[in-house]
Amino acid sequence: MTGWNERLIAIKILNRFEKDKKLKEHIEKFTSRLHPQDRAFIREIVSGTVRFLRLLDFSIEKATGKNLKRQKNTVRNSLRVIAYQIFFTNVPPYAALNETVEAVKKILGKKAAGFVNAISKKIIGFDYKKEIERISDYFERLSILYSFETWMVKRWSNFYGKEEIEKLLKGLNRVAPLFIRVNTIKISQQELLNLLEKTKIDAEPHPFIPYMIRIKGRVPIESIPGYKEGFFYIQDPASFLSAYLLDPKQGEIILDVGAAPGGKTTALSSLTIDKARIIAVDINKERMKLLKNNLKRLGISNVELVLTDIQKDKNFIEKHENSFDKILIDAPCSATGVIRRHPEGKWNKSLKLIKYNQTIQRNLLSSCYKLLKPGGVLLYSVCSLEKEEGEDILKFAQEIGFKESSLYNLPELLKSFAKKHFLRVFPHKNNMDGFFYSKFEK
């Protein structure tokens, strides 16, 4: 239970978040030099506050009678931090209150701190569930309780049914488990498990997806044995499935579109023991640097990096037309399927964004059709829950010439979730990020 300084940093991060709806960059900037324990505490407070933002605001306003929009950002976010600790952590309420009030004093002075101290006491003991039950509208009630935009909840209820919606919201609110993918170029899964056991890291293999290991408890990534040596890559099983379902083979020429920062590229390399020729394409220069570093750490040499946008790069299309045995498109998308990892995703989405991404996804498929060999295979994936970015793409793919291809190497326990040549996985059903996959042939 750290002190006022960690809460001060959390408030500053939340102040930045309010301006641009970004989180990861601000957390890294403010915590990179801190002790791992302090860093973890701040990350939990900030991520949790953002995850339950709508519920916290509702509760604070009901409990205190204050309009949060009229408050200074530091006051507003200090109240949110206090409410989150009281509702969702084991921090004693008065410790949460006193330490946060002290942080406000350091930023704004005694008067503001006294104001926060006085009104935040009303949050202690507030029964938000009882207050939410009074809301008559079903979707509004769900949206506040699980802290989502109402339009998102209505859409998902329409897509997946009323019987599923509450389970889905609960799944998206759970903190995602930590999984690592074994880099088989350097080590076997059993050897890595033995290494983890020797160093007292509690871990277990994924129950039905190969090469995946779950790390139990809270462990700083850098302290996991084998990190520096490149024995593993941090990756959710759903992300790994994109590469696994493509079924890459040694000697094949493979294109990875939207490759950076390298989770799927390095998975393709690992699955082929670095004996396939992989061309990794991305448009983001900074993320490509991360991919380059990951290739080096993992000991991968058979990957060619190309910084380009294949939607517009006619030279690339002409050079590689009908060249690739297999293509993996990890398409830009709304990323609603990874909200449990990136809670800021609750507040920076829109229907406009979803439609915009759909246009890019279609353009990428059109470009990749030209690049794929006759008889070649393409795997399309998005970390999205939206039908426009998943099922609706299938018809377009067939209109431009793609044929359905079987997901023949699907793990046994996922077969019941697949429909023909596509698959959706969910946090609440499969304990992995929300992903959509579809496989095509030319």
Is 247 marked as a binding-site residue? no
User: 399 with 365: CB under 8 angstroms?
Assistant: no
CA distance 280 to 300: 12
Average pLDDT score, the chain: 96
Residue 420 has pLDDT above 80, yes or no: no
SS3 for 123-160 is CCCCCHHHHHCCCCCHHHHHHHHCCCCHHHHHHHHHHH
Q: Which residues are catalytically annotated?
A: 383
pLDDT at position 49? 98
Q: Assess whether pLDDT exceeds 70 at residue 98.
A: yes
pLDDT at 327: 98
Radius of gyration of the CA atoms of the chain, in A: 23
**Whether pLDDT at 47 is above 80:** yes
Is the predicted pLDDT of residue 92 greater than 60, yes or no? yes
Q: Is the pLDDT of residue 1 over 70?
A: no
Q: How confident is the model at residue 217 (pLDDT cuts 50, 70, 90)?
A: confident
Q: What is the pLDDT of residues 233-258, one digit of tens each?
A: 999 999 999 999 999 999 999 999 99
Phi first, then psi, for residue 14 (nearest 5°) are -65, -35
Closest by CA to 267, choosing from 253, 256, 282, 251, is: 256
Q: What is the mean pLDDT of residues 381-407?
A: 96
Across the range 17-26, mean pLDDT stands at 95
Burial (CB count within 10 angstroms: exposed 0-12, middle 13-18, buried 19+), residue 189: middle
Task: Give the whole-angstrom CA distance, residue 223 versus residue 299.
Answer: 20
Residue 220's pLDDT band (cuts 50, 70, 90):
confident
Residue type, 228: K
Using the predicted structure, report yes or no on whether residue 216 has a pLDDT greater than 70.
yes
Distance separating alpha carbons of residues 203 and 199, to the nearest angstrom: 11
* pLDDT value for 218: 82
Cα 148 to its chain centre, rounded Å, is 16
Mean pLDDT score, 199-208: 95
Arithmetic mean of pLDDT, 271-296: 96
pLDDT at 223: 86
Confirm or deny that 274 is annotated as ligand binding. no
- Place 395 in a pLDDT band, splitting at 50, 70 and 90: very high
Give me the mean pLDDT over the 330-352 stretch.
96
Mean per-residue pLDDT, 215-220: 88
| Average pLDDT value for residue range 429-434 | 97
Cβ proximity of 281 and 259 under 8 Å: yes
Q: What is the dihedral of CA 276, 281, 282, 283, to 10 degrees?
A: 160
pLDDT at 222: 82
Number of helices followed by number of strands (H, E) in the chain: 19, 13
Q: Has 309 been labeled as part of a binding site?
A: yes
Percent of the chain with pLDDT over 90: 95
**Distance separating alpha carbons of residues 305 and 333, to the nearest angstrom:** 22
Query: 73, 18 in Cβ contact below 8 A?
Result: yes
CA distances from 212 to 55, 183, 250 (A): 35, 10, 21
Whole-angstrom distance, CA of residue 277 vs CA of residue 364: 21
Q: Give the separation between CA 399 and CA 380, rounded to whole angstroms.
A: 15
Q: Which residue is it, tokens 């996804």?
A: 361
Q: Is the pLDDT of residue 374 over 90?
A: yes
Among left, alpha and beta (phi > 0; psi -120 to 50; other), residue 2 is beta
- pTM for the full predicted model: 0.94
Per-residue pLDDT, averaged over 367-384, amounts to: 98
User: What is the average pLDDT across 92-107?
Assistant: 94
Mean pLDDT confidence for 135-141:
97
Q: How far apart are CA 362 and CA 399, in angstroms?
A: 11
Query: What pLDDT is stored for residue 37 in this prediction?
Result: 87
pLDDT surpasses 70 at 224: yes
